[in-house]
Structures are given as structure tokens and as C-alpha cells.
Amino acid sequence: MNPTAAHTTTSSNTSQSRRRNVQNYSLIWVDGTIDKSEDEWKNNIEIVEDIISDINIFKKPEECIPLLNTINMEKILVITSGFLGEILVRDIHNLLQLDAIYILCGNAARHKAWAENWSKIQGVFTSINDICDSLKKVVHQIDHNEISISFISNQTIMEIASGQRNLDQLELSYMYSVLFKEIILEIDDADLESFNKLIEYCHQQKVPESQLAYFHHEYHRQSPIWWYTKDLFIYGMLNKALRTFNVECMLKMGFFIRKLHQQIEQLYYKQLDDYRESFTVYRDQALSQQNFQKLLTAKDGLLSFNSFLLASKNRKVSMSFVEDSLRKTTDTVGILFIITINQKQISTSTTPFAMIDDYSAICGEQHILFTMHTVFHVSEITPTVSNNRLWEVSLTLTQSHKSL
């Protein structure tokens, strides 16, 4: 199979691509000289396909605008030539879904001056390999931020407690997350058969071939936590499936979700003695203005992360992504969640979490991994002194089944 033919799309078949993208991002490539039949261009495209499967190629800036305006479930990344980029950037820079732009040209000095005026331009590059080094960091940041969060105000909680509102009137993402977790953890299917079905599904859904081959051959040598923290497609694909409630993808990944939850639960009981004293972990998040307003209404209410949640005991580790997000755009609000865990105030096994440094693919970052659909009480929401677009939000781990 020719990987370039399998993954890249043009304006004639991009609608089909939109339906199949399981990644949190899509790439638009605009260059008047691009020719997929030439070895150099073919090689460049294949290099990018190792990171992003959904690549849409155009030769004129105006040809990509209709597609850009229809993408609403993924973040958009753009690679463009210097000459066309100077034209295109004026029309697309303010799009909410646009995350980053890369200028690929033969003369970086010629385009550097104008490119520096646009915050979403990551730089002017003469090598596709240098662009890919940056792309890997950017897509990981996108996967980190594209996580489903539900916000429940204190007023809603009071109305449910008094019988004025039913549980089925809660935010749909919250209810779907509760139901899915209950169902998927009860299923007992054959791991090998489920694994093979996931591999087949990933082939069909255009997961980058090199990443999928690695996962296929090495899966049984590592633990679920290791794979979840590995810089591969699993982390982002799982986050997107739960964020968009892609039932087919969620079910295909069901055995992995179950195994990941079980490993967290096993470590939780093994580490119980380490949780006798209250401690704090941190999680940074870039929120849209819409979700930030929802967060403000949830003060003294509840917040639920509807996927698995990775946090760190190291505050500096947890600030890296959000600071980059704020530099790129004014469309988002940076949040540092300050999470207090006091095991004495909640019953054992309510919400399993574990210290995972000894099991993670990422070393030395003091990570804590919470199981999916962890619920927190929102106690304080305050702006930071240093940046009026960066807020600190104090959360306390709570008993989700007793909170409503």
C-alpha cells in the first residue's frame, strides 16, 4: 500500500476524510509547487504522515478556505510556502480552530520579518524535519488540552437535592461518561480478539502506520499506563473519542480503557499507605472562552474530567503547556488546576488514582494518573497576579457517587 495515497486528501475527497479522523488535529498544506508524484514531495508528505494522518493538500490559498471553515472537531495545523503564506495568514489567523502555522520555504530570511507579526506562526523553516520536530510538540499539547470536562453549578446540585431537577437533566457529556464507564468496566471480553479488532479499526481510521505498527508489535511488552503516557496515538485518540462521544471508537478501545483502569486501581490499593497525609497535584489546561464561563458558574459546584486525568506533584511541569497556549492566541484562557487530595475525607476506592513514575513512558515528572470520570469540588477561582489570562482553580477530590 502506498502510504501517501492512503492518507493524503485533496479538495475532491476531504469530506470523507472529515468523517474518519480519530486524531485531534488536521493538517492543511498549501503550496503552489507541491507535486505528490515527485520523490522529494512524496518523501516530505510521508515524513509528516508519521505524525498526522489527515493531510489535505491545496495549491491555491482560496481553495482551502471552505475546508477550514467546516472543521470544528479538530484543531487545524497549516504548512504553507512563504509567498502563499503571506497571503493566506491574513484570512485564517483569527480562526478559533487554527492552532499553528508553519512556513516552509527555500529562503527563510526573506519571510522572517513579516512572519514574526503573527503569533500562530511557529517559525520559518527550510527543512520538513525541523517542522516535524515542532509538530510533535504541538500535537501533544493539543491532545493534552482536548479533554472532555463537565461543569455542574452549585445551583444545579441544590435543585437535584431538592427534587426540582432530575439527574437526566445534567450536562449530556457528564451523563454519557457515567454510563459508559459503568458499562465498559463490566464487560469481560477476550483481550486478544479485542486487541486485533482495535488494530483493524485503527488501520481503517488512518492512524499513522509507523505508530500503529509499533503499537501492534510491542503492545504486550508494556503496561497500559506506559502506553497511555507514550507519545503515540493512543492518548489523543482516547481523549477525542470520549470528548466527541464516538461510540464506535470508545467500544473498540474498551478493553484498553478497562485494563488502564484496573492497573490504576491495583496501584491505588498498593500505594494506600502513601496517601495518609493530604497532598497537592497540579494540572494545566487551556480552556475556550465558552468553557471558561462554564467554569466560573461552577464555583462551589462540581467539575468532572470525563477522560483519564494526568496531573503532577511538580507545579513547573504542569505549567509548560498552558504558557505556550497563551503565547499563541488570545482565544483561550489558561487554567492551573490545584488539586488537593485528602484520603481521610473520602472513602477508599471511590476514585482510584496512582503515582505512576515507575510505570510511565515519561520519566521524572512526578505524575499522578486518575481514572476516567473523576469528580472534583470547585472551591476557589482566582486570576494570577502575573497574567490576567491565567487563572488558578482550587479543586478537592470528592466522592462522585455522593455528590449529586
pLDDT of res. 172: 76
Q: What is the DSSP string of 319-373?
A: GHHHHHHHHH-SSEEEEEEEEEE-GGGS-TTSS-EEE-TTT-SS-SS-EEEEPSS
pLDDT of res. 330: 80
Which residues share a beta bridge with 122?
none
- Residues 20, 246: contact at Cβ < 8 Å? no
Residue 400, pLDDT above cutoff 60? no
Percent of the chain with pLDDT over 90: 71
Residue 239, pLDDT above cutoff 90? yes
Q: Using one digit for the tens of pLDDT, what is the confidence trace for 106-150?
A: 999 999 999 999 999 999 999 999 999 999 999 999 999 999 999
Percent of the chain with pLDDT over 70: 91
Which is more confidently placed, 66 or 18? 66
Q: What's the whole-number mean pLDDT along residues 151-164?
A: 83
Domain 3-144 CATH superfamily:
Response regulator (3.40.50.2300)
Residue 11, pLDDT above cutoff 70? no
Q: Of 252, 249, 302, 283, which Cα lies nearest the Cα of 353? A: 283
Q: Hey, is 236 helix, strand or coil?
A: helix
The answer to which of 154-163, 194-203, 344-353 has the lowest mean pLDDT is: 344-353
Q: What is the DSSP string of 141-168?
A: HHHHH---EEEE-HHHHHHHHTTSS-GG
Grade residue 403 by pLDDT with cuts at 50, 70 and 90.
low
pLDDT of res. 5: 37
H or E element in which residue 82 lies: helix 82-92
CA distance 7 to 28: 13
Domain boundaries, the chain: 3-144, 147-402
- Per the document, the length of the chain is 404
pLDDT of res. 160: 76
Q: Using one digit for the tens of pLDDT, what is the confidence trace for 291-307?
A: 999 999 999 999 999 99
147-402 is classed in which CATH architecture? Alpha-Beta Complex (3.90)
Grade residue 58 by pLDDT with cuts at 50, 70 and 90.
very high
Residue 44, pLDDT above cutoff 80? yes
What is the average pLDDT value for the chain, to the nearest integer? 89
